[in-house]
Amino acid sequence: MMPPPVDDSDEALMIRAGRGDRLACQMLVERHLGRVVNVGVRMLGNRSDAEDAAQDVFLRVWSTAPRWKRGAARFTTWLYRVTVNVCLDRIAKKREAVTDEPLKVVDPQPEPGAALQEAELAAHVNAALAQLPETQRIAVTLCHYQGLRNIEAAEIMGVSIEALESLLARARRAMRAHLQPLAPALLGGS
């Protein structure tokens, strides 16, 4: 006789994690830690801060797990919302601590005529992303980099679909404008 199928959905794992089930905790971490870190990298501009933020996010996951109610929310939607909020808190704290400067990411200056290396191009893209206003950065991160559907991204951000599309369009136009002079060959010139 076949054993009954084990419910390994995120929501079921959260309930098990709340009871101290180590395997459930491990599965949640394996599934979602990478995504959380990647959102953090896009939002905060560097991996070190992103990893600190990821630890904060999972502390919230663990503290919420004992009170998690099945059906109240989709786990990934909730997790992304927590991640975005943790990152926004860190950005705000950094601003308070230093000055009212925008997020700084090193934007390497390419040698004239030199073909952009992959790592260099990535640095330029990160710099373009960092120059976006936070809401646009969140929208691009969730939709383009995390591949979320527009409905879920809008829900996470607490905006309408129309507002999300507007944020995305402005973000992509701004990034194209930033990257066009650096990678005209890749972007087809203007």
Partner 1 sequence: MTDTPISLERFTHLLDAYGANPARWPDDERALAQHLIEQSDIARAMWQQAAALDRVLDAVPSEPASPLLTAQVLATAPRRRRMRGWRVVMGTVPLAAAAAATLWFVADQRSTRPTAELTLVQIGEYASPTDALLATFAVDTSVTAPSIGCSDSALGCPILEAPAIDPYSQLPRQGRIYS
Q: Which of 115, 43, 27, 118 is nearest to 82 (CA)?
A: 43
- Give residues 7-46 in contact with partner 1 (rule: CB under 8 A): 17-22, 25-26, 29-30, 33-34, 37-38, 42
Is the Cβ of residue 91 or residue 130 nearer to partner 1 in the bound state? 130
- Min. distance of Cβ 188 from partner 1 in angstroms? 5
Q: What's the rounded Cα separation, in Å, for the pair 90 and 111? A: 34
- Min dist CB 24 to partner 1, Å, is 9
DSSP string, 42-93: HHHSSHHHHHHHHHHHHHHHHHHGGG--TTSS-HHHHHHHHHHHHHHHHHHH
Query: What is the C-alpha to C-alpha distance for residues 158 and 176, in angstroms, rounded to an integer?
Result: 26
Choose between 92 and 177: whose C-beta lies nearer to partner 1: 177
Query: Do residues 41 and 52 touch, judged by C-beta distance below 8 A?
Result: no
Question: 19 vs 69, which CB is nearer to partner 1?
Answer: 19
75-97 and 47-64 helices cross at what angle (nearest 10)?
A: 130
Give min distance, CB of 97 to partner 1, in A.
24
Which of positions 87-116 make contact with partner 1 (CB under 8 A)? none
Tokens of 185: 């060959």
- Which residues of the shown chain bind partner 1 in the complex (CB under 8 A)? 17-22, 25-26, 29-30, 33-34, 37-38, 42, 47, 51, 54-55, 58-59, 62, 65-66, 118, 121-122, 125-126, 129, 140, 143-145, 147, 150, 161, 164-166, 168-169, 172-173, 175-176, 179, 183, 186-188
